[in-house]
Chain A
Amino acid sequence: MSTATPSTNVLKAADFASDQDPRWCPGCGDYAILAQTKKVLAKIGADRSKTVFISGIGCSSRFPSYMNTYGFHSIHGRAPTLVTGLKLAQPELNVWMVTGDGDALSIGGNHLIHMIRRNVDVKILLFNNRIYGLTKGQYSPTSEHGKKTKSTPMGSPDMPVRPISIAIAAEASFAARAVDIDVKHLEYVLERAAKHKGSAFVEIYQNCNIFNDGAFEYATDKLTKSDTTLYLEHGKPLIFGKELDKGIRVHGMNPEIVRVKGTNDPQGPSLSSSPADDLLIHDEKAENPSLAFMLSRMRHPDFPEPLGVFRAVDQERYAQLVRNQSVDAVERLGKGDLQTLLRGSETWTV
């Protein structure tokens, strides 16, 4: 018997919801990400039966339970390992990995790096809320230095990692950043990730309103966000500010903020005047990841934080490379004959 599911391209966002009600805290940023993901899946015409969500442990990792696709809620930090195995077995599946800052960058940091450097074909949604939510409020590897939490009453002595810097250091073929409540842009980034072939790493600023409320307020507040964030567009200069009057120029090996020529808004003393064509032009397709890495180091409050696609390049995908070897082996040696193999090279008869 074959149960014909509805033809895939007529599915609406709601068709991707499972019968389990989300159990995140009311007001959690996870809801917005869930909604946009379902929307994007509908938009790209995803086939539910060929879509798999895999997660580790943490608030974000509940995600697969709420999707009416195949799903695997695995163990802390190890989702990348399951993803890699699943893609080796079934390379054509559309696999999404949902993880958090603790899951992906602390306990699972090793696996994340190796999955990305192999360019396993997976969309990685890293919900960064700079805190441990599920275990109730300890600092995470992305928490700010000095952050006071339950486990750091005197402030965190750790220096934070920058998720996109890690991804790019591992030669991610796709790296992007979005913000949970900036839903239009989030949808754009998710769609770009969905269409990428290879490891597509997306850092999503996600508000944990219970344990770290307002961690990204600077990037979401209407009054400040145009000065604290910068939307990356391929082939366009890096410009930001309410009046689009500021830009980023590369000086030596470093970015610097400059006033865009022709704008007359008086700027702070740190800004030097610069002709617009000195501005850094974003090139997400650059083979050399150095500029993307530099962008990943631009941090509030010294710089506006870039949002959008940092890097999107074509690279060979892992499962294909592995499988190509099998094809090559058959071509070179012929399809293996088990009886011959069991016999081996030296035999004798009794």
Chain B
Amino acid sequence: MSTVIESAETDGASGSPKPRKTLPAVTIRFAGDSGDGMQLAGTQFTDTSALLGNDISTLPDFPAEIRAPAGTLAGVSGYQIHFSSNDIFTPGDEVDALVAMNPAALRTNLKSVKIGGIVIVNEDSFSAVDLKKAQYTANPLEDGTLGRYRLVKVPIDKLNAAATADTGLGAKDTDRCKNMFALGLVYWLYGRPLDATLGYINKKFAKKPQVASANTKALQAGYNFGITTELFQEHYEVPKAKLASGLYRKITGNEAVALGMVAAAHLSGKELIYCSYPITPASDILHELSARKNFGVMTFQAEDEIAAMGAAIGVAFGGSLAATGTSGPGLALKGEAIGLAVMTELPVVIVNVQRGGPSTGLPTKTEQADLLQAMFGRNGECPVPILAATSASDCFSALIEAFTIATKYMTPVLFLSDGYIANGAEPWLVPDVDELPKIVIHHPTAANDEGGFMPYKRNEDGARPWALPGTPGLEHRIGGLEKQDVTGNVSYDPANHEHMIHLRAQKVAEIKPAGSAYLWNGPQSGDVLLVGWGSTYGAIRAAVQQLTEEGVSVASCQIRYLNPLPEQLGEMMKRFKHVLAPEMNLGQLRMLLRAKFLIDVQGLNKVRGQPFTISEITRGVHALLRGNLNGHMVSVNDGPAPQIEAINDEG
């Protein structure tokens, strides 16, 4: 399709209503400079769509630099929203409409737009200088680059300036309302009301009425431009989704983690102390919790990652709910102290919001490459239960489960999320607090043995008693040196050491999940089983749906409890001809599955700082069935080889 709606340089004011077309689902993306307010435009569009009743899934994408030089490729910030009248599981493979505020945004985002898709550009920002910053040698608005798209050139700078001229603000301030102009236009394009955003503007700028007025005018001007311009011949609507009935809100993974922590405090009747050191992309959990001090939650911003973990152990020793949050590099620093929590058998929940690695890697991009670090990244035989949340909203219940496991079995628990679900938003059916499972905790007040209090005498779950300092008669000492079984005294006895290693391993191996160990979609046997973990759930599930419609015999199993792995998984995998593990790493789950179950699991691996698209997975399955998976690992592009482009689209 090559429809090009060329700008007719018109301010056409026909006023006659344009036809409105109904679409089942749409994916749009706002892209601009870091300073252009694209994240705000994206979240506002998301909020409005959620309130309208669409199912939503979002993908914010921003550079690691807070303010890269304006107009450059490195400084491009984007926000993708998939909104639908059906259940959706991903932020969308291809973009139906792109808003590009400058040439750099156009250049880095155009490849995501479907052929024939709408490309709205701010034509006022395509001067020679702008083009040069984006490394364009010719103007893409004129050289046919956009021939396969529906190009809509809007003089956003000028229209925004005119709309906000009488607010009394200077040009610099009014210019900052451009994002609202663009948002208003897109609101019109997809038939969304302005109320939610108007409410937001008035609240946010309550003390700055001029700024509120400028933003309001820009938003309305954008909307009205849609009505009057002849650049658009039609507009669209995406009806409400048929979600399960109930009360919904929008939630991101980091918000859900923080809410899960507050809920865990409530459900256990304890205070929760969150000890953390700022790190992208986990810091929002710290911010969120530090604003919840009236909920029996305290936060401690430690001097470093190690201190955060050490303090969490101190908190657990003192009997409060202890948690720390970090991302990959921070987890590496915490390793030794996690070993101490394993040795002293104290409950601490460690949240790792994974990002691109190794080293500083890609701080603002997503990846799943810390699974093996979570499993093995400590000295000695050091087993830690691992849970992975499968979506933004799943973070809430998985976090409560993590505390349930930690306190029931007296062990640190690793909770894996990643940058994609941490920042991505989706609708969440608000749970009823009374229906959430209580976290039952027992602290002994009397000796547990004729010989006195034995800190390492275990219960039927293999857990030692959680006796708190301050309890008369139960004075005891713990620490990182090997413990004598039962008494907990320091012991260098070789047989005791081996015995204790087995006890610690067995305790973790026999943990019973506090929620679903895995999520299954599709038949119990067939040609292909897709096995995934964590945030790939949405893409894998959608791929199964699509492939099933195409007649492929396929099912999926998304593992939530990665340590211990579900025992029955081996049997379940054997009922399929092929097992394929899509992962945003080089095959870490695959390695574990092959080692544990001796099954020839194949890998579909993508490590680009971006989540899987649905089609990458469906193509992977087809390649597998055609027999042209390249070894155990394939590039996600089983068609043409990935193009190495001259531009650096990650900043």
Interface residues of chain A, those whose CB is within 8 Å of chain B, are 1-5, 18, 20, 47-50, 52-55, 57, 64-65, 67-75, 78, 80-90, 92-93, 110-111, 113-114, 322-323, 325-326, 328-330, 332-336, 338-339, 341-344, 346-350
Nearest-CB distance from A23 to chain B (Å)?
9
Q: Are B469 and A75 in contact (CB under 8 A)?
A: no
Output the least CB separation between B325 and chain A (Å).
Answer: 15
The reply to whether B295 and A338 form a contact with Cβ atoms under 8 Å apart is yes
The reply to whether A343 and B245 contact each other, CB–CB distance below 8 Å, is no
8 A-B residue pairs with CB within 8 Å: A72-B344, A74-B340, A84-B310, A85-B313, A85-B315, A328-B293, A347-B247, A349-B247
Contact of B53 among A53, A87, A111, A350 (CB under 8 A): A350
Expressed in whole angstroms, the minimum distance between the Cβ of B507 and any Cβ of chain A is 21
- Scan B311-335; emit 1 where CB is below 8 A from any A CB, else 0: 1111111111010000000000000
Does the CB pair B300–A88 fall under 8 Å?
Answer: yes
Q: CB of B47 within 8 A of chain A?
A: yes
Residue from the list B196, B337, B475 in contact with A48, Cβ < 8 A: B475
Contact B310 A82, beta carbon cutoff 8 Å: yes
Please measure, in the bound complex, the distance between the C-alpha atom of A72 and the C-alpha atom of B446, giving whole angstroms: 20
Please provide the 3 A-B residue pairs with the shortest distance between their CB atoms, ordered closest to farther. Answer: A85-B314, A81-B310, A89-B318
Separation of A129 and B574 alpha carbons in the complex (Å): 63
Contact flags B455-492 to A (C-beta < 8 A → 1, else 0): 00000000000001111111111111100000001100
Partner of A3, one of B263, B468, B473: B473
| Other A-B pairs, 12, CB within 8 Å; known A67-B477, A80-B310, A336-B296 | A2-B446, A4-B472, A47-B472, A49-B474, A65-B490, A71-B478, A75-B340, A85-B312, A86-B469, A90-B468, A110-B304, A343-B430
Q: Kindly supply a per-residue 1/0 record for chain B positions 417-455, scoring 1 wherever the CB is within 8 Å of any chain A CB and 0 otherwise.
A: 000000000000011110000000000011100000000
- The contact of A350 among B245, B313, B336, B476, by CB within 8 Å, is B245
Binding site for A on B (CB under 8 A): 47, 50-53, 196, 240-251, 259, 262-263, 266, 271, 273, 275, 292-296, 298, 300, 302-304, 306-320, 322, 336-337, 339-340, 344, 430-433, 445-447, 468-481, 489-490
Give every chain B residue within 8 A of A328 (Cβ-Cβ): 293
Within the complex, what minimum Cβ distance (angstroms) separates A183 from chain B?
Answer: 25
Partner of B307, one of A1, A52, A89, A114: A114
Residue from the set A49, A67, A110 with the largest chain B CB neighbour count within 10 Å:
A49
CB distance from A217 to the nearest CB of B (A): 33
CA distance A70 to B432 in the complex (A): 40
What is the bound-complex CA distance between A48 and B474, given in angstroms? 10
B238 to chain A, nearest CB (A): 15
Pair A346/B472 contact, Cβ less than 8 Å = no
**Bound Cα distance A230, B311 (Å):** 38
Bound together, the chains give a CA A341 to CA B336 distance in angstroms of 35
- B318 to chain A: which residues have CB within 8 Å? 85-90, 93
Contact status A350-B266, CB under 8 Å: no
Nearest-neighbor residue (CB-CB) of B203 within chain A = A345
Q: Is A74 in contact with B259, judged by CB distance below 8 angstroms?
A: no
A82 touches B51 (CB 8 A): no
Contacting pair B476 A88 (CB below 8 A): no
Select from chain A the residue with minimum beta-carbon distance to B319.
Answer: A89
Closest Cβ of chain B to A327, distance in Å, is 9
Establish whether residues A52 and B469, one from each chain, have CB atoms under 8 Å apart when the complex forms.
yes
Q: Is the CB of A326 within 8 A of B489?
A: no
User: Bound state CA distance, A52 and B468, in angstroms?
Assistant: 11
Q: A2 to B447: give the CA distance in the assembly, Å.
A: 9
Residue contact B292 to A49, C-beta cutoff 8 Å = no
With contacts A72-B478, A348-B248 taken as known, whether A342 is within 8 angstroms of B315 at the C-beta atoms is no
Q: In the docked arrangement, what's the CA distance between A239 and B117, Å?
A: 88
* Alpha-carbon distance A82/B344, docked complex (angstroms): 13
Q: How far is the CA of A143 from the CA of B177 in the complex (A)?
A: 62
Pairwise interchain contact A322-B298, C-beta atoms closer than 8 A = yes
Which chain B residues border A54 with CB–CB below 8 Å? 314
- With beta carbons under 8 angstroms apart, the residue of A73, A83, A89, A338 that contacts B481 is A73
CB neighbours of B306 from chain A (8 A): 78, 81, 111
Which chain B residues border A85 with CB–CB below 8 Å?
Answer: 273, 275, 300, 310-318, 322
Chain B residues whose C-beta falls within 8 Å of the C-beta of A344 in the assembled complex:
249-251, 430
Give Cα distance in the complex from A86 to B311, angstroms. 7
The answer on a CB contact under 8 Å between B304 and A49 is no
User: Does B433 contact A89, Cβ atoms closer than 8 Å?
Assistant: no
Whether B266 pairs with A65 at a CB distance below 8 angstroms is no
How far is the CB of B277 from the nearest CB of chain A, in Å? Answer: 11
Taking the closest CB of chain B, its distance from the CB of A340, in whole angstroms, is: 10
Instruction: Determine whether the beta carbon of A71 is less than 8 Å from that of B445.
Output: no
In the complex, which residues of chain A have a beta carbon less than 8 angstroms from the beta carbon of B445? 1-2
Given A88-B311, A346-B196, A325 contacting B293 (CB threshold 8 A): yes
CA distance A26 to B432 in the complex (A): 64
Which A-chain residue is minimally distant from B291 (CB atoms)?
A329
In the complex, which residue of chain B has the Cβ closest to the Cβ of A65? Answer: B477
Q: Which of B52, B296, B337, B479 has the most CB of A within 10 A?
A: B479
Bound: A31/B423 CA distance, A: 55
Q: Which of A2, A83, A339, A343 sits near B249, CB closer than 8 Å?
A: A343
> For B47, what are the chain A residues with a Cβ–Cβ distance below 8 Å?
346
- CB pair A72–B475 under 8 Å, yes or no, is no
**CB closest residue in chain B, given A92:** B470
A348-B469 in contact (CB<8A): no
